[in-house]
Every structure is written in C-alpha cells, then in structure tokens.
Structure 1
C-alpha cells in the first residue's frame, strides 16, 4: 500500500518547494510522486495518509565521515580490535541507531577492521535492520607503524596497495587511504606529515578505479593534501591545510586545482568544536576559516563528524552544522550540502539526497521550517529510511 506524507512544506536542495507541493507518495520504499496532497490522494484513494501539521518534509541528512566501530573513548577502537564479535556488532548497531536519531539516513564509514561494518551493512538479521544507508570503506590502507596501523591495513608498496584493494573490492563501497599521520596513533607520523608519495597515492586511485571505487584520503597537513590533489583522490578527509601546530598553510594553486578536478573536502567537525576552537583560534586564524576559503574557491565540502573517535558523538549532528552557520553559510546552503550535494559527491545521488520521484524514500519530518532555524534538524519527529518510518521513541526503545 502507498503511503502519502503531508506537511506544511517540502524542503529540497536547500529551498522550499512551491506552495503547490506539500506531499510525498511512497511505494515500496521509494518516492513515487511529489506534489499537491489533494491530487496525490485523489490519484490513489486507497493510500494511507499521514498529515504533519506544523512540520516540514525534507531529504534525510548524510554524515560523510563516521566510524561505526568506534566507541568515542580515548581507546576508541579497542572494542573493534579486541572485543568479541557480539560486542563489536552491538556497538555498531547502537552507533548506527544514534546516527538515525540525528536525522542521518545515510552515513559513510571511513575505517573499521575485520569487515564488521560491511557485514552490518549487508545483514538480514532483524536486529540489524534499523540502520541508515551505509557506505563502507573497510580497513584503511596505511604504512608500517603509520596512522591506524592496528586496524590491519598496512600496505607499503605499489604491489601491496594493489593487492589490498583487490582483496577489499568485493566488499567495500570505496577505498580509504591514510595519506598523512593522525591524532589517534601517538607513535606514528604527526598529522602534518605525509605517509605516502604522490606516486603511491596515484596507484591507489588508478587501481580502485578499475573496480569503480572512489578513494577517500586522510590528510590534515598541507603536504599530504597537495599530494592527494595531484594523485586525483575523490575526497580529502579533515583537509586542515596546516604545516605544523598553529601553522596554517593554504596553497592557492592547489585549492584551485582541487576545485577544477572535483576533489571534495571532507570536513570533520565534532559536536564539541567550540571547545576545540578555544585552543586553536589565534589573532591570525579563526577556527574553520579554511572551510570558507575552500568554499569561496568552489571546492565541494562534505560535512562529517568523525564520530567514533575520542570526544565525538553520533547523535549530535546539528551541533556540527552550527559551525557553518557561524562561518556565514546560509541555512539553505548547509541543508543542500548535507543532502543533495553530499549524495552527488559520494556517488549515491541516483539513489538518495533529494525529493524526486524514483529516489529512495529517505526522508525527515521536522518541526517548523529548517530554513528558519536549524534546531529543527535536531531529533527529527520522524526519520524515514527506504520507506520505513521511525519516531525518536522507536529509536531509543529498539
């Protein structure tokens, strides 16, 4: 049976649709039609009709950078690497539901171990069915003793990189490579150091492309970022443009090349970004200003939270959005970045991210008008994934 959802307004691509469009008809988990409620009901009088007075309907949000196997503690991957399968599965299941509570109907998981996230993505177990759409990168590639080496993805040479991609290709949705060091591997290279040469990064990009896979590269520092751009990766995660602690190094030529070739910047702003900003903001640098700079250079920005690593959360996505509003991005732009534009950059625009007939029914029903106040996006009234609707109580009680 068809479901028709009616609200005060529809919001798509960061804009309110015309007053003649206030309803969405869903059949078998997909959007069959978008239009005027009276016409959709007249065309299908047997449909179930649910009206949400005072609410808006919009596409579900996309969190472009999470780690479903992380527990947000200082030893965030301890359970993933040494827990029992049941413990890991329970952790991933809990985190996925928290993503749904935040309105995220799609998430891109950028690194786990042992193939847990891919198995969760594909599980037919009823307990695992309450989940967002999941894109899994599997085990990230890294160098010996490099960033997150303990996840099991060490690949030092071109042959080892190709072999690792060959092994992963049948299970993953993309490839993740640690182009630079990071913060959660204290003994390895610093976040400002490069781990792979441009040539080896290009090997990863070209070999992944043979399987139709994008490459997401972890890079905080300017040197690894520039190498990633030259190698042609699809997204650069963190993308902080720094050459050392407190040292911003924004390369104008590189960012223009980044925009020309369509490499997106995967931002990772956790809910606690205001606390972080207190320690890194200086008279010469405003926290997040590199995001404005990249946007002004026409670089596509993907909003993520890095949820799962220390000090992050899965169900506070709206707090991360506040950084963009503070930086001067309009609410419409932010919503578009979190839906349609993210879907296109991640290669799933044919499936989700918009209110269009034929797409999956990944929808939110939110109080008021999110174009007036982003608070509407916190704890949506209904979260609908592939046509299955959940209330906040549903997601807590399951």
Structure 2
C-alpha cells in the first residue's frame, strides 16, 4: 500500500516542536506497518526535507505568527476574511490549488491519503476527495480556539478566535465524516470530535526517541528545567500559571531554567528564574535539571514534553492536564494541580525525594501500543500486510 501523507510542514529532521516530533513518530510507525509513505507539504525556509526521495515539497513557508511583521499579519487576516478560510489555513495559500493538484499527480499511483491535521486539508479543501483517507487530528483545534477566545484580552482578538473556532469546528467535523478512520493524540479528543467508537477512531500514544535512551549518571546544574514552544497559546497559559502561581511559593535559591522562545509580556521577578532561549540539545538541557515541572493547564492533544520526560526517566511534578492520554505513569512522577503543593513537591524532588528511573519500559509500552493502533487504523483502508522489522 502506498499512502500520500499531506501535511503543512514536511519533516526536516530537526524535531523542533511537538508537531514535528509527532509527525516523525507517526510516519515511522506507518512504515513499520509495511506501507510506503510519500510526504507532501511545505518546508520551513532553508530547511530541506530529511527524506527527499519520499517527499514532495510545494515550496517554503514560515507559518509562525510570533515574529511575523505587522504587514504580514494583516495580510493573513484580510485574506482569511475574504476567502472564508481559517487564519491558520490561509498562511499555506502561497501556491494555487492547481499547483497542489499537479503535485498530487506527481506522487504517482497511491491508494489513500493521510490528512495530517486540519491546516493543510483546510487550505486546499476538496483536493483530497478522490481517494479514501485517514484523518489525524493532533489537537481538537476548534476546542483550543474556543479556549483562546475565553483567554483573549480584547474584544477584537476574542472575535477572531471565535471565528476561527466556528470554522475549525465545521472543518474538523467534515474531515471526520469523510475519513475511513480518525487518529487523535489524546483519548479524550475522540469524544469531542464525535468519533469515540473504536471502529471509527483510536488515540495514538507517541514516542520522542526512536530508541529508548540509556540511563546514566547526570551532572545536575539547576533545580528545574522547562522547555517548550511558549508562543503556542495553550503552552503559554501553562507557563504563566507556573510563573505566577507556583514560582512565588519557591525559595529564592531554587534555580529554574526556561528554554524556548518566550513571547513578550512573560517574565518573573524570582531571582532563580532564567530564560535561556534556544538550546542546541533539548535532551542535554533537561538532563541538567534535578526535576522537570510539567505545567500544562489547558488545550487538547498530548503533551510531548511529558512523554520525553518519562522516556528519559527523569523525576517530574505534573498537573493533571499534563498527563492527558498517558496511561503509563512512572513512580517518580508526582501529580498535583494546587500551586502550593506543586512548589513543595518540586522542592522535595530537588532535595532527593524522587530519583531517576529506567524509561525504557515506558518507551516500549508506548511504541507497542502505537504500532498496534496504526495497524488497526490501516485495516480500515484494506491494508493487512505484515509489519516490517523495526
């Protein structure tokens, strides 16, 4: 079986975000199931695909709102309003539908589409109706937009998020109806999308590393470390909760390092908090911490940083939301949603109350369930080949 994996951004091997990590994990699992996968989509500027022989690149595009010029933001907004597209999809309309149609034809004979998230499918709606498809919803996008609307600081921003939520809800419903099968990344998302039956959908557990990391001695440089795409609104909400509600309960000598681009308006007066920006090696950064705070407070989908922490076997203190759709919880993870209890758990863990564990059992569990559910989803397309060796 040959599948065309239609996505906004093609994998380039950098794995710089949770979206990119999830894409690489899912594509690997599809290939382990014995199918041929050709990827179709856009590349980040200056980033060639990591598998050029099996990738069709439509061009380069930077879809990040944070850092875009005011002119570009206004252009996206005006184009979205006049086209009826979502703000997230209109950013991909840098080529015409005919260009995409020709690229699909260039993929050669294939059996079905994998429609990866709503942005690309929404930007070129109607071009993927000639074959069966599987739809992958990384997050319930309309629910995230509704949460963003509730958290918005002004009436115009609230209106834009509500518009986005309305369009996304209709688009997600249409894609779910059209798909032979739906994959989500969180168990809870299946019911929100109205596809909770196991013959319609399954939630995919993910892995971050292709092989389970080997446990070893670590050099501790700071008490706690957080890393993430903080410009994404659900992540920002979690970080703001941590800085505003948890950190004031920590002693001044408790050291915290926060990696990743932090949007304007976020900061902390706590003397132990330092924002370090981009780090070249995410694993090395978190391995330098005694404890990992997992601070998600909202959103849908799965928290990639939770999975990475558990694979590395690192001690953690997590909110309930940070564990959504994670069935396997290691013994060195403390769970609380109370800010004072969260701060106390961080201090106890940093003082040695929690220890490193071997994360390979978690990794094996996640990958085994992932491979099984991928094969069950592919069966809806008529694929029954034996899995290929990993």
TM-score using structure 2 length: 0.33
- Higher normalized strand content (fraction of residues): 1
- The higher-RCO structure (CA 8 Å, 6+ apart) is 1
- Higher normalized helix content (fraction of residues): 2
TM-score using structure 1 length: 0.32
